[in-house]
Structure 1
Amino acid sequence: MAIDLKAVEQLATDQSSLKAAAALAKPAKWSGVGASQDGALIWGECAGSGANPYRVMADLRDLGNKCTCPSRKFPCKHVLGLLWLNAEAVVPFVPADTPAWVSDWLGRRRGTTAAKPASNAPSTEKDLGAARAGEPEVAEDPKDVARREAQAAKRNEDTERAIFDALDALEQWIGDQLRMGLAGFIDDATARCRRIAARLVDGKAAVLAGRIDELPSRLLALAAGDRPRGAVVELGKLVLLARAFRAAPRDAEIRRAVAASETREIVLADPQAQRVDARWEVLAEQVQTRRDGLVSQTTWLLNLAVTGPRFAMLLDFFPASAGRRGSVFTPGERFQAELVFYPSQQPLRALLVRRDASEAISALEWPASDTALSDALTRPLLAEPWVIETPLLLPKGRIARDDAGQMWWRSADGTATLPIASEVDGLLCGTELSRAAAIWSGNRLTILAARTRWGRIGCHE
């Protein structure tokens, strides 16, 4: 989806706005520029006269827009500048996760649309050529660059200080829950978690806030007798994550779990990021509507090669108000692709860099697990003790139901038995599985897909 300069001209309220936008249509004025996966939403932060940049966003479907500046003009020069950047591709609008402030604005719009420009407005009043001519290119002032860098460093320090304060509040809150008793916490988990999550959002720890906001649903998914133990484990992991952030606040992996993920362009430009060109199989797709109004779309891939990370997780977010989006992947399909992984001790989350045309790779077997099951269950906790879910490649086994109706996976040699998180239907139940890919949440397995002597079986097949 794109916009042309004619639309920018028609959207401007007067020639002075267009002239001011021309001065802003320069890469040095902007940071954090991005777009949604479908290109409909664009956003960026524009340096202003104050310490903090203005947050600017626009919906190209109807040209609705928003800016945090105090201008009384609508649209303001910052919105016009952002649209100008997009129209002329001055900077790349790389698809990325939609920031929370853009999602909040989109949710508040409630279907409203921007006013349409008058079609009979004389073109001589607002002319792009005049706007361009009035703003010749000038060399960037080194003092301005130094000032912006100093302001950025100050913002980073303020953000870090805010996160530290929020983590102090979190640890105090956890201590209060333990002192008051886990029974009361479990009964009132939704309200209590929502309050501390709001405090973490104010403290710039948005990712950690989302994790805590989802904690009650994870507890309620457990059997009643397992919830106290589950609460202790969850709260303990939060403490470990808070302590890890204090010890290494600039660590990308830890910061990703607390504050925010790196942008797509940062990961792609990182020369240290691990790149893997291999043949992949789509195991499953998980779509979940979160309490913050976003929908997470997780695609799990299995590396069919002998070397490299065994699993890859492609993660995308979009506003729930945008409706269900179709997937570009089909469970069971295979393809050659290059992935770049986010920096991590255990690379898992990745970005799709290149996907080649499908090849005849259906004959490839799933690789054997390269670690013992006991190690696969515990090793991730040594590197990231706060992790919630871990993908596993299970050896030969079978899924069955006990007398109480609980589903279990049992290894063929009888040395391991693990509980299944949900009901398993169809051929998966009772069939001998030569391999199975699953997500281990610390106390339950979620089966993604499995291989049998008849072929592949998905979790809903």
Structure 2
Amino acid sequence: MAIDLKAVEQLATDQSSLKAAAGLAKPGKWSGVGASGDGALIWGECAGSGANPYRVMADLRDLGNKCTCPSRKFPCKHVLGLLWLNAEQVVPFPPADTPAWVSDWLGRRRGTPAAKPANNAPQGGEKDLRAARAGEPDVAEDPKDVARREAQAAKRTEETERAILDALDALEQWIGDQLRMGLAGFIDDATARCRRIAARLVDGKAAVLAGRIDELPSRLLALPAGDRPRGAVVELGKLVLLARAFRAAPRDAETRRAVAASETRETVLADPRAPRVDAHWEVLAEQVQTRRDGLVSQTTWLLNLSAAGPRFAMLLDFFPASAGRRGSVFTPGERFHGELVFYPSQQPLRALLVRRDAGGELPPSEWPMADATISDALTRPLLAEPWAIEIPLLLPQGRIARDDAGHNWWRSTDGMATLPIASEVSSLLCGTDLTRTAAIWSGNRLAILAAQTPWGRIGGHD
């Protein structure tokens, strides 16, 4: 049997788990790797922080898996690492007799009497997925065991929060150092300096924030040289605001999502606070970016064509860069009816696709009305989330023009607003009356996603 990296990435609960798994997909981390005769079962022992390696096993028929590490993620990074080894054939998985500890797990998955391990080795924390849980009989738990596990979970949560807070202290000290030494030196050496503090944040369990800082130099270098000092001040200021917001409410899902990790799909779907919106949607654009941590982010922007619910939706996915370019299920410009569930937030934007109705394209219709003023459209999201990097906008009627220096600008028809554009735009858009324009504001530049014109819809790079 075989597995590919796409299946591995779909199993991962978040991008930090996938990144950690990539680090474990190395021959030196593993021992005792093997497979059953038919290749359906694979197993191995992964070196961890303790004296004994973690025992990891998986059933490729339904991707059920288990690891003896104490992680609360299902599957953990060790399981993902084992599957990654198999998918990429990093090491051979020779056919071998099934170890007793694998047989024990397999027997419990199938509801048969468990075989006793031959070496009576102590087993660590167990976690079975899907069929593993369904196959085990319901047994009344000892209240003392339940209380002990809850106490251990609370202790781990406190330790994680403490590690994050310590990392944020280091971040604020680092920001102060950059300002004291001068922004010119910071901009010239931004890549090395950001890489060092990002590594400290990863150690402090602030993986999402680390990724943001790791990408900061590329955002600065994309600006004209004269705008980079201002851009650096804005970026560093937003980091301070985010750090202090986390300190004020370390259990808040919104700030935790921006610092440590996002909720799993299952958690969002089960959250009664998560807004569900059943509406007509138009696919505005897709943005694909290879990150410095070896992952590729795939962002799909949707526009809500119905009256109710958030105006924009952002579908975000990650997959390993080594897996190559992955096809999209959406085509820019297409319209569909479906249900989205949004991550709980003061200004909901990131969402998950729950249902997409069959039945082909929706009939053409006008986009919603733009906001009354651009300042209102920018102010509301920043008041709710002042550390946000990107804000989607639906601009009113306007045109795109080019100045003497060759820079592109969007200007409203009434002349009340003029905004610079970050990159080259379609020649079809230049000089054309734009009845509506969907764009992303990054704090100093617009990125055009798509626009409606008297001749129809035009993509930002068509």
TM over 0.5: yes
Going from structure 1 to structure 2, the CA distance change for 1:306 and 1:40 (only over 3 Å counts) comes to: closer
SS at match of 1:240: helix
Displacement after TM superposition at 1:321 (Å): 1.2
Are 2:271 and 1:293 aligned?
no
Displacement after TM superposition at 1:361 (Å): 2.2
Displacement after TM superposition at 1:237 (Å): 0.6
Going from structure 1 to structure 2, the CA distance change for 1:289 and 1:187 (only over 3 Å counts) comes to: same
Query: What 5-or-longer segments of structure 1 have no aligned partner?
Result: 4-34, 45-54, 90-95
> Which digits, 9 at most, give the CA deviation of each residue in 1:95-132, with x for residues without a partner?
x99987778888888641441325x99xxx97966982
Aligned equivalent of 1:219: 220
Q: Note if contact 2:334-2:361 (Cα within 8 Å) is conserved in structure 1.
A: no
Residue type of the alignment partner of 1:270: D
Are 2:381 and 1:372 aligned?
no
Q: Note if contact 1:198-1:209 (Cα within 8 Å) is conserved in structure 2.
A: yes
SS at match of 2:57: helix
Aligned equivalent of 1:385: 386
Q: Note if contact 2:371-2:396 (Cα within 8 Å) is conserved in structure 1.
A: no
CA separation in 2, counterparts of 1:237 and 1:114?
47
Q: After the TM superposition, which residues 28-427 of structure 1 pair with which residues of structure 2 at under 5 Å, given as runs?
A: 38=7, 42=11, 63=42, 67=46, 78-80=56-58, 86-87=63-64, 111-117=89-95, 132-134=112-114, 137=137, 138-427=139-428
CA separation in 1, counterparts of 2:223 and 2:345?
29
CA separation in 1, counterparts of 2:65 and 2:89?
28
SS at match of 2:167: helix
CA separation in 2, counterparts of 1:291 and 1:105?
23
CA separation in 1, counterparts of 2:214 and 2:342?
27
Q: Note if contact 1:411-1:417 (Cα within 8 Å) is conserved in structure 2.
A: yes
Residue type of the alignment partner of 1:146: A
CA separation in 2, counterparts of 1:233 and 1:97?
38
CA separation in 2, counterparts of 1:43 and 1:102?
10
Displacement after TM superposition at 1:359 (Å): 4.5
The number of aligned residues is 409
Are 2:432 and 1:431 aligned?
yes
Going from structure 1 to structure 2, the CA distance change for 1:97 and 1:301 (only over 3 Å counts) comes to: farther
Displacement after TM superposition at 1:345 (Å): 0.5
Report the TM-score when normalising by structure 2: 0.79
> Which digits, 9 at most, give the CA deviation of each residue in 1:240-292, with x for residues without a partner?
11111101111100110011101110000001110000000000000001011
Q: Note if contact 1:2-1:87 (Cα within 8 Å) is conserved in structure 2.
A: no
SS at match of 2:220: helix
Going from structure 1 to structure 2, the CA distance change for 1:197 and 1:77 (only over 3 Å counts) comes to: closer
Q: Note if contact 2:313-2:350 (Cα within 8 Å) is conserved in structure 1.
A: yes
CA separation in 1, counterparts of 2:272 and 2:333?
32
Residue type of the alignment partner of 2:113: A
SS at match of 2:424: coil
SS at match of 1:409: strand
Q: Note if contact 1:439-1:445 (Cα within 8 Å) is conserved in structure 2.
A: yes
SS at match of 1:427: coil
Identity %: 72
SS at match of 1:428: coil
CA separation in 1, counterparts of 2:369 and 2:234?
31
Report the TM-score when normalising by structure 1: 0.79
Displacement after TM superposition at 1:143 (Å): 2.2
CA separation in 1, counterparts of 2:245 and 2:42?
43
Aligned equivalent of 1:458: 459
CA separation in 2, counterparts of 1:207 and 1:145?
31
> Which digits, 9 at most, give the CA deviation of each residue in 1:49-75, with x for residues without a partner?
xxxxxx9999999957664567989xx
Going from structure 1 to structure 2, the CA distance change for 1:98 and 1:326 (only over 3 Å counts) comes to: farther
Going from structure 1 to structure 2, the CA distance change for 1:415 and 1:323 (only over 3 Å counts) comes to: same
Displacement after TM superposition at 1:379 (Å): 2.0
SS at match of 1:433: coil
CA separation in 2, counterparts of 1:168 and 1:201?
14
Residue type of the alignment partner of 2:353: L
Going from structure 1 to structure 2, the CA distance change for 1:422 and 1:159 (only over 3 Å counts) comes to: same
Residue type of the alignment partner of 1:79: M
Going from structure 1 to structure 2, the CA distance change for 1:192 and 1:408 (only over 3 Å counts) comes to: same
Aligned equivalent of 2:128: none
CA separation in 2, counterparts of 1:394 and 1:99?
44
Q: Note if contact 2:280-2:304 (Cα within 8 Å) is conserved in structure 1.
A: yes
Q: Note if contact 2:242-2:255 (Cα within 8 Å) is conserved in structure 1.
A: yes
SS at match of 2:352: strand
Going from structure 1 to structure 2, the CA distance change for 1:343 and 1:311 (only over 3 Å counts) comes to: same
Displacement after TM superposition at 1:460 (Å): 1.9
